[in-house]
Structure 1
Amino acid sequence: MSDTDIDTSFIDRTFLERIDDKLERLESMRPLPPAVLRRLNEEMKLMHTYHSNAIEGNTLTLQETKVILEDGITIGGKSLREHIEAGNTAKAFDLVEELAKGKVPINHVNIQRLHEVVMAGLVEDSGQYRTRNVRITGAVKSPPDWSKIILMIDEMLDKLISDKTHPIETASFLHHRFVEIHPFTDGNGRVARLLTNLYLMSRRYPPVALRKEDRKKYYSALRSADKGNLKPFGQFIARAVDDSLTLYLSASGGADELIPLKELAEDTPYSQEYLSLRARQGILDAVKIGRIWYSSRNAVESYLSEHGIKESEQED
């Protein structure tokens, strides 16, 4: 087994409580109107497809990925492989949705099935565990001997069943442990991100998209986990879940509607720059879309009630 484990909590409790509160609010809104749910799911499929492939070096833009998926148009100047990656990842995301709805457990069959879909036409051994040893440039340690893969995945799956920690901590463990085992010759990161969504979605969380802009932070957190410290990676996954919940809650409109911080700041004692700082620190509940920070009136009111008076007095 890995030095990393999930017998103890490693994500900030206050942050998890905020996430739990958001999930509870989302549950109270369900079932969402079919048109709203369809739009959200399509948006998350696009975001996951674009960002997951971009993390691996795919140069398609978000808009180009959208055109390929929705219109089947070929993008000039882009490789055939990049087009295949877009189509495959979207199909694999659809499969994750199907498995999550059916509450199908994560097992060897579904792990290999996801790999077969996401890597079809890209590698000769899609859907098959590797039968040779590999090395990863820059990795803290080499992946285990190929002959140990099935046993190590069995141990990982047993851990998922017996684990009693928070689902987001378990999802973080699953993601890291899977890429650490590195069961396939290629495509392990793509499958890990799909499995993370399968685990979360089967527990009523919305899907997440790990963003290309956070690629360095993503790999740095994984390297820390390789050394036995899962905390940075757990916090990274928790932030992605929190952002996704914010997006789904905003679909209801009203006080949960996402509004640029520039606009929200006008009704507070603080500047846009100051609120952006608090958002980056994770103290103000906000989500960054592109280069712009968004929050909601509910989140700002909650922030002001908890921090506003104290900070105002300090500023005086």
Structure 2
Amino acid sequence: MKSLLKNARENKGLKTRELAQLAGIDQALISKFESGTRKPTKDQIIKLSQLLEIDYETLMVAWLKEKILYEIGDDEFALKALLLAEQEIQKNKKEIDSAILSANQIILDEIEKLKNKLQSFNHFELRQISKTLELEFIFKSIYSNGNSLSLEETKSVINDGITISGKSMQEHLEAINFQEIAAYIKDLSLKKTSLNEKDFLLIHNLIFKGIEFENAGKYKKESLILREMNLLFSWYETHKNNLNPIILASEIYLKILDINPFEKGNSLVANIIMNWILFQNNYVYAVAQKDKNSSSEYFSSLDEYKIKNDKSVFINYILKTEKENLIHAIQLNNK
């Protein structure tokens, strides 16, 4: 952990004195954190993570590891104790997951009723609704990423191949790329394809198709990324049949943001993968929006997750979004 803190501070060009002033922590303590002679508190870890732009999970894992090693050292029973602790943590996690499911059972039941009502429509009605929802998915996805195309302009670009005056070539390409992505995840869903590395990387590559980015479809060159991604795919396989699909999709979104596997485009990929899982289970798109016109609910739910390690607020946000979008989809049939 000490090297994480020191390297991050030096990379930002800060002196220990300057970091101490920004963090409100004594300069001598900063030096001791970097030399390993003192350990930060959890509150100090949160501050340093934000100021030095160190991934919060990475720093917390390093901090907890050192706390554990300090407490147990090389005691002969240390490994047995760690195994028992891991089992206890897993047990507690299952209880938390069960509590989340129980707390949201009412809205989950409401969502299921809405989904069944939508699925009761005839093929022609569903096709018309699907076309509208797909256009909205493309528009919301690119708009939340800073694209200035309006909904109607997006429709003109992807359906009619029209070039919109005053809009950049990149903005046009983003709309076209997301049309291809929407078709791709629809195809994966119909084939019941499981989440895998090949399609995960291809989706990232499609986001930047025709747009200059040499690392499209490639993980960051960090030693832990590949391991973390393999753990993600394994986690998905383990839980895809025993977690509610909306909760599964929400957790996948958070896990992708935690791993942060790409140089850029991580939140876009997280959104696409989440909606792939939803679509595969006959739900409608639930784009997690972070644009200037949306409420602060998205950001506050992520903050709650990062600071308190409480995923329930974000899951609630996605459940609410999914319910609203199902109601919207049903209403489209009456227009």
Q: TM-score, normalised by structure 1?
A: 0.68
**1:82 aligns with one of 165, 168, 171:** 171
CA drift of 1:115 comes to 1.0
5+ residue gaps in structure 2? 1-56, 62-89
- SS state at 1:53 partner: helix
CA drift of 1:151 comes to 1.1
**What pairs up with 1:17-166 in 2 under 5 angstroms?**
17-24=106-113, 26-27=115-116, 30=119, 32-122=121-211, 123-131=213-221, 146-163=222-239, 164-166=242-244
CA contact (8 A) 1:103 1:202 kept: yes
CA contact (8 A) 1:47 1:209 kept: no
Larger Rg: 2
Superimposed CA distance per residue, residues 61-111 of structure 1 (whole angstroms, 9 cap, x where no aligned partner): 112111111111111111111111111111101111110111000010110
**What pairs up with 1:266-305 in 2 under 5 angstroms?**
none
For residues 102 and 150 of structure 2, the distance between their equivalents in structure 1, rounded to whole angstroms, comes to 36
CA contact (8 A) 2:119 2:126 kept: no
Superimposed CA distance per residue, residues 139-165 of structure 1 (whole angstroms, 9 cap, x where no aligned partner): xxxxxxx21112111212222222334
The question of 1:230 aligning with 2:311 is answered yes
5+ residue gaps in structure 1? 132-145, 258-316
CA drift of 1:51 comes to 1.3
Superimposed CA distance per residue, residues 175-204 of structure 1 (whole angstroms, 9 cap, x where no aligned partner): 011022111111111111110011112222
- SS state at 1:112 partner: helix
Measured at CA, do residues 25 and 63 of structure 1 come closer, stay the same or move farther in structure 2, by a change above 3 Å? closer
Equivalent residue, structure 1, for 2:321: 240
Letter in 2 for 1:248: A
CA drift of 1:248 comes to 3.1
User: What is the percentage of aligned positions where both structures have the same residue?
Assistant: 23
**What pairs up with 1:127-206 in 2 under 5 angstroms?**
127-131=217-221, 146-163=222-239, 164-206=242-284
- SS state at 1:98 partner: helix
For residues 156 and 14 of structure 1, the distance between their equivalents in structure 2, rounded to whole angstroms, comes to 25
Q: Please, what is the CA RMSD of the aligned residues?
A: 2.6
Letter in 2 for 1:206: V
**1:218 aligns with one of 278, 298, 314:** 298
Measured at CA, do residues 19 and 111 of structure 1 come closer, stay the same or move farther in structure 2, by a change above 3 Å? same
- SS state at 2:281 partner: coil
CA drift of 1:28 comes to 6.0
Measured at CA, do residues 29 and 43 of structure 1 come closer, stay the same or move farther in structure 2, by a change above 3 Å? closer
CA drift of 1:24 comes to 4.1
Letter in 2 for 1:189: S
CA contact (8 A) 2:149 2:167 kept: yes
Q: How many residues align?
A: 240
Instruction: Give the number of the structure whose residues are more often helix, by fraction.
Output: 2
CA contact (8 A) 2:114 2:326 kept: no
- SS state at 2:175 partner: helix
- SS state at 2:294 partner: helix
CA drift of 1:18 comes to 3.2
For residues 58 and 22 of structure 1, the distance between their equivalents in structure 2, rounded to whole angstroms, comes to 31
Measured at CA, do residues 92 and 198 of structure 1 come closer, stay the same or move farther in structure 2, by a change above 3 Å? same
Measured at CA, do residues 181 and 82 of structure 1 come closer, stay the same or move farther in structure 2, by a change above 3 Å? same
For residues 47 and 13 of structure 1, the distance between their equivalents in structure 2, rounded to whole angstroms, comes to 31
> Which region of structure 1 is more displaced relative to structure 2, 46-55 or 28-37?
28-37
Off by >6 Å, runs of 4+ in structure 1: 1-6
CA contact (8 A) 1:91 1:118 kept: no
